[in-house]
Each structure stands twice: as C-alpha cells, then as structure tokens.
Amino acid sequence: MINVKRLVKWGLLLAFLNFAFPQRVYAYIDPGSGSYFLQLFIAGLLAALYSIKVYWTRIRSFLVKRALPSKLAKILKWPD
C-alpha cells in the first residue's frame, strides 16, 4: 500500500510540473486529418443511429406481437 501511495504522489508531482512549466509545441491538425476525424465522427453517429433503428424495430415488433391479438394486428396491417 505504501508503494501505491508513493507512486500516486510522484505521478501527481510530475503532472503538476508538466503543467506548471509548459513548452511550446508547434503542432496543428492539417485539413486532411481534420476531414478524417470529421468522417469518423459522422460514420460513428450514423452507425449508432442505425443500430438503434434496427433494435428498436425488433423490440417494438416483439412487444406488439405479444400484446395485440392477431385480428387487431391484421386490422392495423402489422407485418408478420
């Protein structure tokens, strides 16, 4: 337990020193990388929305088939 406390103290000290004395960094995100990250974000968002759509349809159809009698389902034209 003492070693963990010592490790945490040293880690916090090093993190503090790193933020207390920053160095200049000449970095940027070029347009190609920015475009790639934008594509990743949009693709992830669309994949999440599609997954929700697929599973929501399955859950809804399962509940409706169990809850509604077959005649009412035919009246509502619910697909089998």
pLDDT in tens, 2-42: 688 888 999 999 999 988 988 887 777 788 888 999 999 99
> Maximum CA pair distance of the chain?
75
Q: How far apart are CA 33 and CA 44, in angstroms?
A: 16
Dist. CA 2–CA 34, nearest whole Å: 45
In the prediction, which pLDDT does 34 show?
Answer: 86
According to DSSP, residue 76 is labeled: T
Output the pLDDT for position 5. Answer: 85
pLDDT for 38:
93
pTM, full prediction? 0.43
Amino acid 41: pLDDT: 97
Q: Are 68 and 78 in contact (CB under 8 A)?
A: yes
